[in-house]
Structure 1
Amino acid sequence: MQTASTNICERMGRSQESMNSSMVQIGCYLSNKSIHEISLLLNIPRSTVNGIITEWKQLGTTATQP
């Protein structure tokens, strides 16, 4: 038997998961965490964190552009 939270997580698409991760990274950055600290905290490469933050600074969004 599935719980409601499990069902929601299964229905969440990859893009939604990616967007949530990006927003967490930006939130950490705005909380004065370094790129290295964010990378260690979320267990993702520094280059990925740097790319997300750079895109956010330049475009104001992390959404995929057409």
Structure 2
Amino acid sequence: MTEWGQHMLKCTMRRSHQTSVESIAKDLQTSCDFKISTITVRRELHGMGFHG
């Protein structure tokens, strides 16, 4: 994942903490216009310190 993608993922998490991984991936796909899997989202969030 690129730095821009990680930045957008952090911004998405700050806006809504109770969002599912599937909806985060869908939101990133529509807002950033790139494909990302739920597994990648989960892995990146874990690497950023988001657990649960």
TM-score (norm 2): 0.54
Gaps of 5+ in 1: 1-13, 59-66
Structure with larger RCO (C-alpha < 8 A, sep 6+):
2
Q: Deviations over 1:23-44 (max 9, x none)?
A: 12432562x1000110111112
Q: How many residues align?
A: 43
1:35 aligns with 2:35: no
TM-score (norm 1): 0.46
Gaps of 5+ in 2: 30-35
Which structure's CA Rg is the greater one?
1
Question: What is the aligned partner in structure 2 of residue 10 from structure 1?
Answer: none
The sequence identity of aligned pairs, in percent, is 14
